[in-house]
């Protein structure tokens, strides 16, 4: 059974059909990134610099479905942990839909999710943080990267600080406002991804030892400490 995005409902509102004009010859390719973390998004955007195409971003399942109702991307990167559900469900939907997105790539800060991603229809899996620029570009070739394999510019300290600060605020809000075990479990998964991106061993260890049944005080304290150390602008 295929998924018709014209009939996929998000917050009770039906989405519009795919815009088939998106696939006319001569058009530059489009990569759709489905990722809620600004830090991860900024890192991927930097790695995508120099690509023969453009990148668009959705930060939730709902937003991704809206994008998919309007155009068919040439490739889609889907984070497996999203605020309104599992990226695995979106992977399964996109894999069933006809015409199919040519390249479906799962991304996650939890490497153990790789098998599940393939089972749901992903063509490839990338563990966060993405360690190899060459591997990233190989997965997107030849549509986006029949170009120089020179390293992309690194994200500057100011960019990292700004993106990390935003993610820390989001993470702290998620923990403080999470009233259920499921909400806290998602918050901890989000923070684990941020910690891996920043190579923050102390925060990563605290997250891995935390239990979603109760508010993790140590993680909250570390997030507040990290925020105090971030630039204001």
**Whole-number pLDDT of residue 160:** 53
The whole-number average pLDDT for the span 136-151 is 71
What is the pTM assigned to this prediction?
A: 0.69
Q: How many CA atoms lie within 13 A of 173 on its CB side?
A: 7
Residues contacting residue 218 through CB under 8 Å, at least 6 positions apart: 206, 209, 210
**Whole-number pLDDT of residue 196:** 84
Residue 121 has pLDDT above 60, yes or no: yes
The domain spans of the chain are 9-140, 157-226
SS3 sequence of 134-199 = HHHHHHHCCCCCCCCCCCCCCCCHHHHHHHHHHHHHHHHHHHHHCCCHHHHHHHHHHHHHHHHHHC
Bridge partners of 108?
Answer: 127
| CA 166/CA 153 separation, integer angstroms | 22
pLDDT, tens digit, for every residue of 60-109? 999 999 999 999 999 999 999 999 999 999 999 999 999 999 999 999 98
Encoded tokens for 18: 């795919």
CATH 3.40.50.2300 assigned to domain 9-140? The reply is yes
How does DSSP classify residue 97? S
**Whole-number pLDDT of residue 79:** 97
Residue 172 has pLDDT above 70, yes or no: yes
**Whole-number pLDDT of residue 161:** 65
Spell 166-182 as b/e; 16+ CB within 10 A means b: ebbebbbebbeebeeee
**Whole-number pLDDT of residue 155:** 45
Residue 226 has pLDDT above 80, yes or no: yes
| CA 213/CA 230 separation, integer angstroms | 29
Q: Kindly indicate the confidence band of residue 16, based on its pLDDT and cuts at 50, 70 and 90.
A: very low
Encoded tokens for 164: 């990390």
Higher local confidence (pLDDT), 200 or 159: 200
């Amino acid at each position: 059974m295929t998924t018709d995005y014209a009939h996929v409902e998000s917050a009770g509102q039906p989405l519009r059909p795919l815009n088939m004009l998106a696939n006319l010859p001569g058009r530059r390719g489009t990569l759709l990134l489905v990722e809620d973390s600004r830090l991860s998004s900024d890192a991927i955007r930097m790695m995508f610099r120099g690509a023969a195409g453009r990148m668009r971003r959705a930060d939730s399942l709902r937003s991704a479905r809206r994008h998919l109702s309007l155009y068919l991307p040439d490739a889609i990167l889907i984070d497996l942990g999203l605020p309104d559900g599992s990226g695995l469900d979106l992977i399964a939907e996109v894999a069933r839909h006809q015409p199919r997105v040519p390249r479906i790539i799962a991304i996650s800060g939890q490497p153990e999710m790789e098998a599940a991603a393939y089972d749901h229809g992903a063509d490839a899996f990338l563990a966060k943080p993405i360690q190899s620029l060459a591997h990233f570009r190989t997965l997107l070739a030849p549509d986006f990267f029949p170009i120089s394999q020179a390293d992309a510019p690194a994200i500057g300290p100011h960019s990292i600080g700004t993106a990390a600060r935003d993610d820390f605020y989001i993470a702290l809000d998620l923990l403080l406002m999470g009233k259920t075990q499921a909400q806290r479990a998602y918050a901890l998964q989000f923070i684990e991804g941020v910690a891996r991106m920043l190579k923050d061993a102390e925060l990563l260890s605290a997250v891995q030892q935390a239990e979603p049944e109760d508010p993790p005080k140590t993680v909250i304290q570390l997030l507040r400490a990290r925020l105090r150390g971030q630039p204001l602008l």
